[in-house]
Amino acid sequence: MSSAEAPTSSAGLPARGSRVAQMDRERLARLGLWVGVALAIMVLCWHPLPLEPASGITPSWEAGMQMALHEGITFGNHLIFTYGPLGFLSVPTLWYRDTGTIAVLYTVLLRFALALALFWGARRSYGTLGGALVAGIAALASMVVLETVPFFVFCIWMLDRVCERRKRLMLMAAGGAVAGLELLNKLSIGIELVALAVIVALFAQGRRRDHLIVTVSAMILGLLFGWIASGQSLGSLGQYAHNADQIIAGYSAAMSFGNSGLLWQFGAGLIAFVFGVLAAWQMTADESARRRWGIIALWVVFCYLQFKEGFVLHEAKHAVMFFVPVAGGFLAMRWQDGRQPFGLGMVAILLAFALLSQRGSGLEVDNPGANAASWAKQLVQVSSQSRSASIIAAGREQIERKYPLEQSTLDLLRGHTVHVEPFQTAVVWAYRLAWRPLPVFQSYAAYTTYLDHEDADTLSSARAPQRILRNLDSDIDYRVQSFDQGMTTRTMLCRYQELQTTERWQVLGLGPNRCVGAPVSLGSVHASWGQKVRVPAPPNDHSFVFVRIAGVQVAGVERLYGLLYKPPERLLLLDGQTHRLIEGTAADGLVLRAPAAADFSRPFNVAPDATTITVAEIGGGRTASKPITYSFFVQSLSAGPRSARPAH
């Protein structure tokens, strides 16, 4: 027998070993194709990572995520934010080399999964070459890395194919575990993945009870594993869930923002949603009703939650959080023979929406050659200890240049625990200060009474930071900064004394409580929306007046509307000047008037010294039958904030 001939059995068929070897080679070839194409898409469509630390509102919470893990500050029993203990994975910046490198590796894995998912989805309709081209264009148009797109494509795949029971349950367990872990990263994305995984369990072929048991069990195990692995206390997991509920419940009302220049996106979003429903309908024309409605349910939930992500805080950088994932997720829809041109046309329109939504966001699309060069450069930078150290050092220098602290200020801060108010946490990292944050460490995010109370309680406890570093770089949604957390602001005014004030910074030191007794009522006023109310003056130089506003909170139909989209914004007019009012903390006691002797030095004073106050609503949806109640109080002080040295 020639060596070129394959061994055969007595029946003239290829030997079993030869058939197995041939199947293995085919599997390896397919695996090589999938991995090779996905790697090529990832590299050629690489969007540079923000490796160097920077200053600003977003970099500061990103710094906080890595600082919390690095310094052992735990969630549940301390830190509260829209991200959890694995939130550092979403921060591929070298604030620290160890946590930063892990975050970069996670991002690379996520981008590979995204490229693989896009290729798999497009290949089913347009073939290997056409699918690779369409997937590459989709990845090139994407400026954000989202966990939701690969997971959504995985869920479509689970419903669109038939596999034996054991394999199906194993895949559901894997999906459940990923969803459970993501609940410890970004809360909104974790909830979205949980919802998608549950839909798969309900609509996949087989016994729903078995699917749900496996999926939910895997979610719990994934959650517990991530919680323990990140160094959290098992006993505080329940508190973490409660804190997460507060963060989610207050988000739509407090963080809503509308941009009249982006109104076209509502129509474009509706078109994108309809495209997906049509694609799902034709995809399941010959399938069971269970599979059809399962795929449609996946699309509806996917679009709804991405809509909330992109349209509640509706500005350029958030709008892409709807259009980019929807364009990517749409590729998972399989087009039957003869209908591929329709699908390709819809893909082109959705990608155009994704690109248009990025205008004004500061994001750019580079050519594939530049992307590949950027990928190689950043890979070398992260893997090299010396280059990583240089990036970290450059980040510190940049933050120090933008936010310089005088030596006298540093002398007051070093050797003491420090919290930064309202959000410039990156300064603590840059100057290597001892960080002891309030639970909601960026004040604009403490938008419910419960969250405000948590921060105020910390300032009143033995865990209070010894120093508070405040700055004025805090123009967020035209709010009054001290009104974001009325209870926390009043506690700070009572317990902290001014040590130093410069042009941009104020240093407060923890001291004895200067507030004498309980607040005394000055009476209440019932007024209609838009009606001006006069603010009573403080009775003496060592007291301040604050107000609790009732009747402006989201309730009834507005609560349902807020769940589906977002409730109307509340406006606050102080002496006729318009500000944003956060309804969730309006009843917490907002400091309105205080003599100079009772307040911090200007411009760091917390009382706007308003003589009139008015609350209105954008759109005027409220009726006069439900009035607003302004309850005024006066708080007496034993001394002014600059009359004594701190106890610590």
What tens digit of pLDDT does each residue of 557-591 get? 888 878 888 888 899 999 999 999 999 999 999 99
State pLDDT tens for residues 390-411.
Answer: 999 999 999 999 999 999 999 9
Q: How confident is the model at residue 467 (pLDDT cuts 50, 70, 90)?
A: very high
Cα separations in angstroms, 555 against 425, 560, 568, 583: 34, 8, 12, 11
Residue 48 pLDDT greater than 80, yes or no: yes
- Across residues 247-264, what is the average pLDDT? 87
- Residue 324: which residues within 8 A CB-CB, separation 6 or more? 141, 142, 143, 144, 146, 354, 357, 358
621 or 224, which is more confident? 224
Query: Is the model's pLDDT at 245 over the cut of 70?
Result: yes
- For residue 162, the model assigns a pLDDT of 73
Which is more confident, 562 or 75? 75
Cα angle 107-255-77, degrees, rounded to a multiple of 5: 65
Task: Tell me: pLDDT of 223 over 60.
Answer: yes
Angle at 141 (CA atoms; ends 139, 144), nearest 5 degrees: 75
Among 7-16, 164-173, 525-534, 577-586, the minimum mean pLDDT is found in: 7-16
| Cβ-Cβ contacts under 8 Å for 73 (sequence gap 6 or more) | 67, 79, 435, 437
Lowest mean pLDDT among 101-110, 132-141, 355-364: 355-364
Weakest-pLDDT range from 308-322, 422-436, 598-612: 308-322
Residue that the structure tokens 């419960």 belong to: 450
User: What's the rounded mean pLDDT across residues 620-637?
Assistant: 80
User: Reduced to 3 states, what is the DSSP secondary structure of residue 410?
Assistant: helix
Q: Is the dihedral of CA 116, 122, 125, 128 positive or negative?
A: negative
Q: Average model confidence (pLDDT) for the chain? A: 90
Pairing type for strands 467-471 and 417-421 reads: parallel
- Taking residues 340-354, report their average pLDDT: 94
**Helix%, strand%, coil% for the chain, nearest 5:** 55, 15, 30
According to DSSP H, which parts of 358-485 are helical?
A: 368-383, 385-402, 407-413, 425-430, 449-459
CA dist 544 and 597 (Å) reads: 10
- pLDDT at residue 6, as a whole number: 46
Query: Could you give the CA distance from residue 43 to residue 46 in angstroms, rounded to a whole number?
Result: 5
Instruction: Tell me which residue has tokens 């933050």.
Output: 399
Over residues 40-50, mean pLDDT: 93
Q: Which of 1-15, 332-346, 558-572 is predicted with the least confidence, judged by mean pLDDT?
A: 1-15
pLDDT digits (tens, 9 = 90+) for 148-192: 999 999 999 999 887 888 999 999 999 999 999 999 999 999 999
Q: What is the pLDDT of residue 594?
A: 95
Q: What are phi and psi of 468, to 5 degrees?
A: -125, 125
Cα gap 194→196, rounded to integer Å: 6
List the end-to-end C-alpha distance of the chain, in Å, as a whole number: 93
Residue linked to tokens 């089913």: 124
**Residue 47's closest CA among 121, 143, 137, 116?**
143
User: Which value, to the nearest 10 degrees, does the dihedral of the CA atoms of residues 474, 477, 483, 487 take?
Assistant: -80
Q: Taking 90 as the threshold, does the pLDDT of residue 380 lie above it?
A: yes
Q: What is the predicted pLDDT for the residue at 247?
A: 92
Read off the pLDDT of each residue in 227-246 and give the average, rounded to a whole number: 94
Q: How confident is the model at residue 367 (pLDDT cuts 50, 70, 90)?
A: confident
pLDDT at 130 over 70: yes
Confidence of residue 328 (pLDDT cuts 50, 70, 90): very high
Q: pLDDT > 70: what percent of the chain?
A: 93
pLDDT at 646: 47
Q: Is the pLDDT of residue 648 over 70?
A: no
Would you say residue 440 has pLDDT above 50?
A: yes
605-620: pLDDT as tens digits: 999 999 999 999 886 5
- Mean pLDDT for the stretch of residues 68-91: 93
Question: By mean pLDDT, which of 315-324, 363-372, 398-407 is the weakest?
Answer: 363-372
CA–CA separation, 326 and 303 (whole Å): 7
What would the DSSP string read from start to end of 251-289?
Answer: HHHHH-B--GGGTHHHHHHHHHHHHHHHHHHHHTTTS-H
Would you place residue 236 in the very low, low, confident or very high pLDDT band (cuts 50, 70, 90)?
A: very high
* Range from 10-19, 59-68, 330-339, 637-646 carrying the lowest mean pLDDT: 10-19
Q: Which DSSP string do the residues of 330-347 spell out, in sequence order?
A: HTTSPPPTT-HHHHHHHH
Residue with tokens 């450069």: 377
**Average pLDDT, stretch 139-152?**
83
The reported pLDDT for the residue numbered 536 is: 96
